[in-house]
Structure 1
Amino acid sequence: MTTVTRRNVLKGGTALVGGMAGILATGRAPAYAQASTVHWLRWTDFVPASDQLLRNEIAKECEKALGIKLNLETINANDIQARVTSAIQSGSGPDVVCVLNNWGQLYGESVMDVSDLAEALGKSQGGFYETSRAVANDGKKWIAVPWCIVGLQIAYRKSWFAEIGYTDGKFPQTWEEYREAGKKLKAKGRPIGQTLGHTFGDAPSFAYPYLWSWGGKEVEADGKTVVLNSPATVESVKFMVGFWKDAHDEGGLAWDDSNNNRAFLSGTCSATLNGASIYIEALRKPDTYKTETGGKLKDDILHAALPKGPGGQFSYHVPFSNLLMGYSKNQDAAKKFLGWIHSKDVYDKWFVSQKGFSVGPTTDWEKHKLWDDDPIMLPYKQAARTGRFAGYEGPSTRKAAEVVTKYIIIDMYAKAVQGMPAEDAVKWAEAELKKVYV
């Protein structure tokens, strides 16, 4: 091995002289010597293939295309908020954090303005869904770049519902019908599986649209006047108490977002509100997940929207957004990374790996050829168009995000299911809302 000395350089070894000349001419070190590392924190995806793609392919492409090393860290979604809070307090941590729901509104003063990225993305890809805009824009600027929306539908056992009269892919249209269907199924040892626990996705995406469907709401359009304690809300709580006892697996009070997946895949529940991860897992392992008759479970799964109530039919889908953290020492690289990974060619690979579990944050992704592959997934294609979000009838502000984070609406129903009189559960929840909004 030749020792590099001043004499070697002056004598003109071609490779070395060329390299030095390049450095001197450009005034900067070679790319490999100044490569930045971007630390991206996100949830452990319910579609494992997507995390594998990010680690094994996208990360390598990022370094090749941008000279940026991608440090991808994945954790349980329910742990993300604690990590963000700790990072902000310490002034160090991930450069980019992918948050769920409207959590980004909680950290608006601690993140960078990404309006230029978000506006360019929306303009080039068909415009954002209202849900993406509601959670990532504070009314003045974009505090996050919308990443995706996980659509929520009820996954249900086609053959079991057919046994009680719902043939040809039909599903209960009202809460009363769903309760009666669930009662019959529970009598057969096949209850509905639903969480009313402190978990990020399946609990709020059930409780909020259920409340709206009865005519209840948190606040007026001004986003300040709390109006939860209404006859409509009380009726929704009273119905829930009977619905839970008659039709549900009552252990769901303690479930997180993975318990219902396991229950459905093991054949211990007949229906559950969920992203498409149950069906995708059954597709991925067709010889593992079987029906009680030995058939492939994937062939006995259909999807349906939440039923209607006296106030209408609603949905709540789970949005994801990327925060560029204000404390980051790599803001330029992180911003460059976000622009790159959202480009159509790169994002397309991740989108395909999701198999419809997530839709893009913009409407262009509804046109993707992926939706032609499997008719069972079609209910998820335009699901994001129908969603309201937490804080209705007002905007999904920081205060609305705090209510989601404290699980106030979910706890209102859980307390009543556990024995608190409906009127008292509603009064408790309204008092908690006023602590936030007033």
Structure 2
Amino acid sequence: MARITRRKLLALSGGGVVAARTGGIAAILALRQAPAYAQGTTIHWLRWNDFVPASDEVLRKQIAPECEKALGVKLNIEMINGNDIQARTTSAIQSGTGPDVICVLNNWAQLYPESVFDVSDVAEEIGKAQDGFYEESRVVANDGKKWIAVPWCVLGAQLAYRKSWFAEIGYDAPKFPQTWEEYREAGKKLKAKERPFGQAVSHSFGDPPTYAYPYLWSWGGKEVEADGKTVVLNSKETVDSVNFAVGFWKDAYDDGGLAWDDSSNNRAFLAGTISSTLNGASIYIEAKRKPEVYLTETGTPLFKDILHAPLPKGAAGQFGYHLPMSNMLMKYVKDPKPGKEFLRWITSKPVYQPWFDSQQGYSVGATTIWEKDKLWDKDPVMLPFRTAARAGRFPGYAGPADRHAAEVLSKYIIVDMTAKAIQGMPEQDAVKWAQGEVASVHAA
């Protein structure tokens, strides 16, 4: 941590204003008092309602009071459904007023580069101190020239599955279906036992795209070439993937998934009506939190019958897409300095640590330093999430995760391509429709 004398800091800052060049959050901690410019101010931080409720409690009851003591800033945390964040962001930008900091999902920051402050000084400081950001964290929060948001975390996505039910059909742990064909056959057997797979194929920010994109990539399909301009979605590989998906859905999945949001599969799994679903670790964490509530059909704690595995392999390989989150500092804010110091402070390791601990592995952090945390020694069931973000690809592949990729993702074009086919549109027509939609985005 950088050292700075009180006299030097006051001379540089005119009474306590902390600039990045004087050491950022390190200077605040060294001085042991809040920067003068922030006294009496409020930071309004908009973020999602976490799927791990304990983490929201840590923010409200521990970190918010500490923020006022450390920075002289009253932290007003507003938590809403993740699916509502984009609408709130758009409304705030159009009206020129709203939250000071907005925690966005996926690569949504790429949609608003002109409406946010350059936070390169903060992001570079955090990355340097914490062994660097994951590539997925970097590409969603950096427009190639500057940081337009400060990465916050990456939520690992893995298949949660019922260990005993898979054992009944020949997959004794740690054995698990390795290919889509094997997974489909397993699904047929389980659905015949009224234990189908569950998957949201709908307009919801998390589970639908984190399944649809890696599935497409595993068949060799992609949106664009590496130049980021040539749209190549309408390919044999994509058509093959959709053809397989239609039969796979009928054979193995709960039909209700076409109307599910990101919480629906959690409820279905905890209720014992599905056997496997792509999700973060929230299902397991919730079952473990309430072992007397969530039980198997034999009356034993459900969490003891849950394991995690990556999505299966396809002809082109095995892929994952893990959901990143990052904090934007909005440009309609009159003075960005308090917001920058808040972002420095809350993302610093000592402050971030209790929030990370409360996540229990649901978040892997945005920087690689968190892979080394002792948290991972506590529960072997969570180990598949430890390095999940290293294997992640992001929408826009093989091109950049830029504004075009963000718009395609926000419009759920890749998800809808499969949903339309499942609902009866000829597979080739569904792919042609998606090709046209993606091309329109790139032509705009």
Using the size of structure 2 for normalisation, the TM-score is: 0.91
Matches within 5 A, 1:303-314: 303-314=308-319
Q: Are the aligned partners of 1:152 and 1:274 in contact in 2 as well (CA < 8 Å)?
A: yes
Asked whether 1:117 is paired with 2:122, we answer yes
1:401 aligned partner:
406
Q: 1:215 aligns with which of 208, 220, 225?
A: 220
Cα distance in 2, alignment partners of residues 75 and 68 from structure 1: 22
2:187 aligned partner:
182
Q: 1:423 aligns with which of 387, 406, 428?
A: 428
1:266-320 Cα distance to aligned partner (Å, 9 max, x none): 0000000000000000111000000000010010000000000011100000000
Tell me whether 310-319 or 329-338 shows the greater mean CA deviation: 329-338
Shift of the alpha carbon at 1:160? 0.2
1:305-360 Cα distance to aligned partner (Å, 9 max, x none): 00000111000000000000000134211111110011110001110010000011
2:375 aligned partner:
370
1:176-213 Cα distance to aligned partner (Å, 9 max, x none): 00000001000111000001000001000000000000
Matches within 5 A, 1:221-232: 221-232=226-237
Shift of the alpha carbon at 1:168? 2.5
2:4 aligned partner:
none
Cα distance in 1, alignment partners of residues 104 and 111 from structure 2: 11
Distance 1:235 1:345, change over 3 A: same
The one-letter code of the counterpart of 2:160 is A
2:280 aligned partner:
275
Shift of the alpha carbon at 1:122? 0.8
Q: Secondary structure at the match of 1:203?
A: helix
Cα distance in 2, alignment partners of residues 312 and 368 from structure 1: 30
2:134 aligned partner:
129
Shift of the alpha carbon at 1:393? 0.1
Q: Are the aligned partners of 1:59 and 1:70 in contact in 2 as well (CA < 8 Å)?
A: yes
Q: Secondary structure at the match of 2:183?
A: helix
Shift of the alpha carbon at 1:32? 11
Distance 1:27 1:370, change over 3 A: closer
The one-letter code of the counterpart of 2:128 is K
The one-letter code of the counterpart of 1:120 is E
Q: Are the aligned partners of 1:234 and 1:423 in contact in 2 as well (CA < 8 Å)?
A: yes
1:191 aligned partner:
196
Distance 1:33 1:119, change over 3 A: closer
Distance 1:26 1:201, change over 3 A: closer
Cα distance in 1, alignment partners of residues 108 and 15 from structure 2: 43
1:161 aligned partner:
166
Q: Are the aligned partners of 2:219 and 2:238 in contact in 1 as well (CA < 8 Å)?
A: yes
Cα distance in 1, alignment partners of residues 155 and 42 from structure 2: 28
Q: Are the aligned partners of 1:190 and 1:268 in contact in 2 as well (CA < 8 Å)?
A: yes
Alignment coverage as a number of residue pairs: 414
1:7 aligned partner:
none
Unaligned runs of 5+ in 2: 1-13, 18-34
The one-letter code of the counterpart of 1:382 is T
Distance 1:309 1:195, change over 3 A: same
1:206 aligned partner:
211
Unaligned runs of 5+ in 1: 1-24
Asked whether 1:66 is paired with 2:71, we answer yes
Matches within 5 A, 1:302-341: 302-341=307-346
1:46 aligned partner:
51
Larger radius of gyration: 1
Q: Secondary structure at the match of 2:324?
A: strand
The one-letter code of the counterpart of 2:90 is T
Q: Are the aligned partners of 1:125 and 1:362 in contact in 2 as well (CA < 8 Å)?
A: yes
1:12-47 Cα distance to aligned partner (Å, 9 max, x none): xxxxxxxxxxxxx9799x979941100000000000
Matches within 5 A, 1:64-143: 64-143=69-148
Q: Are the aligned partners of 2:143 and 2:402 in contact in 1 as well (CA < 8 Å)?
A: yes
Q: Secondary structure at the match of 1:40?
A: strand
Cα distance in 2, alignment partners of residues 37 and 311 from structure 1: 50
Q: 1:355 aligns with which of 360, 363, 386?
A: 360
Asked whether 1:36 is paired with 2:36, we answer no
Q: Are the aligned partners of 2:161 and 2:276 in contact in 1 as well (CA < 8 Å)?
A: yes
Q: Secondary structure at the match of 2:205?
A: coil
Shift of the alpha carbon at 1:170? 1.3
Tell me whether 390-399 or 168-177 shows the greater mean CA deviation: 168-177
Q: Are the aligned partners of 1:207 and 1:409 in contact in 2 as well (CA < 8 Å)?
A: yes
Q: Are the aligned partners of 1:38 and 1:330 in contact in 2 as well (CA < 8 Å)?
A: no
1:395-422 Cα distance to aligned partner (Å, 9 max, x none): 0000000000000000000000000010
Distance 1:150 1:33, change over 3 A: closer
